């Protein structure tokens, strides 16, 4: 339905981040761009449509141009834009599949849609199309993640090209000033409240983005993983995570309760406004902190990246990563071409080239990390986290979209003191039980 057009929708803030990253990368990319060594099959003409988000359109165009896909295979690529929200994308593909067609052939999609689409049977199994060395190239964390989020019943339906996790940013200058080390356990995090929070001034140790609409759920997944479990199990780990969060908000006063209606951008404003000492935040913040608006404020010390605290669940689950990746729609009218494009995009050579085009394609594949600029802050952080082995698997649920709403609603009720912990957990348990 949507055709690539000049009036493309871009996610502005991400674009700012991606552009900044691209610019930074261009400044330190190697002088020569080695040509990809894999030679894809040449098909006689044909075309393929790939759906990407507005923020990734330019990156994809650049990648295809640089690697000369069309020249090598004779296949024309048309870039189709994703609709604005997951729900509309779901509706769009669902209606098309009913009529045995598809608005695109290859799609770049995220975790939630991968779950929905693969369960609904819309996607092609990809195992035959994968390069032999793919799983070796993937970092162990990526492999584990793929098993949960990109496969169904042992079949792979998506290969990710983007691997993002929330990083732990902190004010090294403040920590040095106070002579404190960054917290490494939950108890130490609680202790941060006494050191940094000054409610009268509006300063808190940390703030997070916990508003309705998938933000709170992402946090709960993160913190329950630290506790060693999956929030959708509504078990003792989830309970520990909720209690910990409640404590941080109201007892040890390390986490600003206003987080419950904050988005990530608001979090960033607080950080850039010198109101908080550390935060869990997605990598785009690193770019935001370095952009033109904040040049005057920025200093390396102010935006340091450290390892996240380790919860009762142990080091291996201190954080998790999520990704976007490529899949092929079953009812595509251009299946052969789609498979070619897919194979091309997931090959090692193209994966490396893609990373050089833009950090939208940055991930922890060994080949990619090896070729990335070691001085770039994001690459350094990714390496740090990968090497430390702190990346766990994002908690999963087969009916993810509905399940996350249930968790969000019940947890928010507890965290805003509307219901007791037991009530909140029982409600979550009851409703989740009804889902499967």
Partner 1 sequence: MQQIHVRRGIETKARRPVTALPKFNLSKSAQRRYLLFILLVAPAFVLRLTTAAYPILQTLYLSFTNLNLLANTNEFIGLQNYPELADNYGVQASLSFTLMLVVGSTLLDLIVGMLIALLLNAGFRGVGFARTINLIPWVIPTIVAGYAFRWLLDDQFGLLPYWIHLVSGIRIVPFISPLFARMVVILVHVWKDAPFMACVFLAGLQGVPLDLYDAAKVDGANAWQRFWGMTVPLVMPLTITMGLFRLVWSLGSFDLVYGLTQGGPGVATSVLALQIFREGIMFFKFGFASAISVLLLLLVGLVGIGGLWLFRKADVTY
Partner 2 sequence: MIKSQTPRLARFKWDSVALYAGFGLFTLIVLIPIYWMARSSWSNASDLIKLPLIYFPTPTLKNFQTLITQVPFFLYLRNSLFFGVSTTLATLLVSFLAAYAFARLQFPGSGFLLWALVLSMALPEVGAIVPLYRLLRDLHLLDKIAGLILVLSSTLTPFTVWVLVSFIKQVPYEIEEAAIIDGASLPQVMWHILIPVTLPGLVTMGLINFINAWNNLLYPLAFTTSPTAKTLSVAITEIFAGYSPYGKPWELIMTVGVAMTIPMVILVIFSQKAIVRGLTSGAIK
How crowded is residue 154: how many other Cβ atoms within 10 Å of its Cβ?
A: 8
Nearest distance from C-beta of residue 237 to partner 2, angstroms: 26
Candidates 81, 153, 129; CA nearest to 398 is: 153
Candidates 409, 390, 430, 401; CA nearest to 140 is: 390
CA of residue 270 relative to chain centroid, distance = 22
d(CA 234, CA 298): 41
Tokens (6 digits) for 224: 């329950």
User: Which of 57-65, 84-92, 176-184, 304-312 is the region at the interface with partner 2 (rule: CB under 8 A)?
Assistant: 84-92
282 binds partner 2 (CB under 8 A): yes
DSSP one-letter code for 331: T
Q: What's the Cα-to-Cα distance from 353 to each of 7, 13, 165, 345, rounded to whole Å?
A: 27, 24, 22, 10
Q: What is the bridge-based pairing of β-strands 276-281 and 76-81?
A: unpaired
Nearest distance from C-beta of residue 22 to partner 2, angstroms: 18
User: Which of 4-12, 33-41, 179-187, 424-432 is the region at the interface with partner 2 (rule: CB under 8 A)?
Assistant: 4-12
In this chain, which of 71, 147, 178, 434 binds partner 1, going by CB under 8 A? 434
Nearest distance from C-beta of residue 260 to partner 1, angstroms: 4
384 interacts with, out of partner 1, partner 2, none, CB within 5 to 8 A per kind: none
In this chain, which of 4, 10, 184, 298 binds partner 2, going by CB under 8 A? 10
Cβ distance to partner 2 smaller for residue 138 or 264: 264
d(CA 216, CA 43): 47
DSSP one-letter code for 44: S
273 binds partner 2 (CB under 8 A): yes
Nearest distance from C-beta of residue 3 to partner 2, angstroms: 11
CB-facing half-sphere around the CA of 421: CA atoms within 13 A? 13
CA of residue 210 relative to chain centroid, distance = 16
Nearest distance from C-beta of residue 1 to partner 2, angstroms: 5
Q: What's the Cα-to-Cα distance from 97 to each of 86, 104, 105, 126, 225, rounded to whole Å?
A: 16, 11, 12, 19, 36
405 binds partner 1 (CB under 8 A): yes
Nearest distance from C-beta of residue 12 to partner 1, angstroms: 17
Site for partner 1 in 119-158 (CB under 8 A): 120
In this chain, which of 32, 37, 85, 100 binds partner 2, going by CB under 8 A? 85
402 binds partner 1 (CB under 8 A): yes
d(CA 383, CA 377): 10
265 interacts with, out of partner 1, partner 2, none, CB within 5 to 8 A per kind: partner 2
Site for partner 1 in 265-324 (CB under 8 A): 266, 269-270
Cβ distance to partner 1 smaller for residue 199 or 292: 199
CA dihedral 215, 216, 221, 225 (to 10 degrees): 120
CA of residue 226 relative to chain centroid, distance = 17
**DSSP string for residues in 147-174:** HHHTEETTEE--EEEEEE--EEEE-HHH
In this chain, which of 34, 45, 140, 202 binds partner 1, going by CB under 8 A? 202
11 interacts with, out of partner 2, partner 1, none, CB within 5 to 8 A per kind: partner 2
84 binds partner 2 (CB under 8 A): yes
In this chain, which of 88, 185, 251, 420 binds partner 2, going by CB under 8 A? 88
Beta bridge partners of 151: 156
Q: What's the Cα-to-Cα distance from 152 to each of 114, 121, 127, 398, rounded to whole Å?
A: 10, 10, 12, 10
Residues with Cβ within 8 Å of residue 109, at least 6 apart in sequence: 51, 82, 89, 117, 158, 324, 325, 327
Residue with tokens 């010198």: 274
274 binds partner 2 (CB under 8 A): no
DSSP one-letter code for 313: T
In this chain, which of 18, 25, 75, 92 binds partner 2, going by CB under 8 A? 92
Binding mask 195-224 for partner 2 (x = CB under 8 A): --------------x---x-----------
Nearest distance from C-beta of residue 25 to partner 2, angstroms: 21
Nearest distance from C-beta of residue 305 to partner 2, angstroms: 18
Binding mask 68-107 for partner 1 (x = CB under 8 A): -------------------x------x-------------
For partner 2, the binding residues (CB under 8 A) are 1-2, 7-14, 83-85, 88, 91-92, 95, 209, 213, 263-266, 268-269, 273, 282, 284, 293
For partner 1, the binding residues (CB under 8 A) are 87, 94, 116, 120, 199-200, 202, 211-213, 257-258, 260-261, 266, 269-270, 399, 401-402, 405, 409-413, 416, 418-419, 427, 430-431, 434
């Amino acid at each position: 339905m949507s055709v690539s057009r000049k009036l493309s929708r871009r996610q502005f803030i991400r674009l700012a981040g991606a552009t900044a990253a691209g610019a930074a990368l261009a400044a330190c990319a190697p002088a020569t761009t080695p040509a990809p060594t894999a030679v894809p099959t040449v098909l006689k003409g044909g075309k393929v449509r790939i759906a990407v988000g507005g923020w990734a359109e330019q990156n994809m165009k650049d990648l295809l141009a640089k690697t000369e896909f069309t020249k090598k295979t004779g296949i024309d690529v048309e870039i189709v834009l994703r609709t604005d929200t997951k729900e509309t994308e779901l509706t769009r593909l669902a209606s098309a599949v009913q009529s045995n067609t598809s608005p695109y052939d290859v799609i770049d999609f995220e975790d939630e849609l991968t779950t929905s689409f693969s369960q609904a049977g819309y996607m092609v199994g990809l195992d035959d199309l994968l390069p032999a060395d793919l799983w070796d190239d993937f970092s162990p964390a990526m492999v584990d993640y793929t098993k949960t989020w990109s496969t169904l019943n042992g079949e792979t339906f998506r290969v990710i090209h983007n691997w993002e996790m929330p990083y732990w940013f902190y004010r090294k200058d403040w920590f040095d000033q106070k002579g404190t080390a960054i917290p490494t356990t939950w108890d130490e995090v609680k202790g941060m409240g006494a050191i940094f929070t000054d409610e009268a001034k509006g300063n808190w140790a940390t703030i997070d983005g916990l508003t309705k609409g998938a933000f709170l759920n992402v946090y709960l997944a993160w913190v329950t993983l630290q506790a060693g479990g999956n929030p959708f199990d509504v078990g003792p780990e989830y309970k520990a995570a909720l209690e910990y969060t409640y404590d941080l908000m109201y007892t040890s006063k390390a986490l600003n309760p206003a987080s419950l209606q904050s988005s990530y951008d608001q979090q960033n404003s607080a950080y850039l406004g010198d109101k908080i000492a550390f935060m869990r935040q997605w990598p785009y913040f690193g770019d935001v902190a370095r952009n033109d608006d904040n040049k005057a404020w920025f200093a390396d010390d102010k935006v340091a990246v450290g390892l996240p605290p380790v919860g009762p669940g142990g080091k291996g689950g201190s954080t998790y990563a999520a990704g976007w990746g490529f899949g092929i729609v079953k009812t595509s009218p251009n299946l052969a071409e789609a498979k070619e494009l897919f194979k091309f995009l997931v090959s090692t050579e193209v994966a490396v080239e893609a990373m050089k085009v833009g950090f939208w394609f940055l991930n922890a594949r060994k080949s990619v990390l090896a070729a990335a600029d070691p001085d770039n802050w994001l690459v350094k952080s990714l390496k740090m986290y990968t090497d430390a082995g702190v990346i766990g698997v994002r908690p999963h649920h087969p009916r993810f979209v509905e399940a996350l709403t249930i968790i969000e609603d019940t947890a928010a009720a507890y965290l805003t003191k509307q219901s007791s912990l037991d009530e909140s957990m029982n409600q979550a348990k009851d409703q989740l039980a009804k889902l499967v």
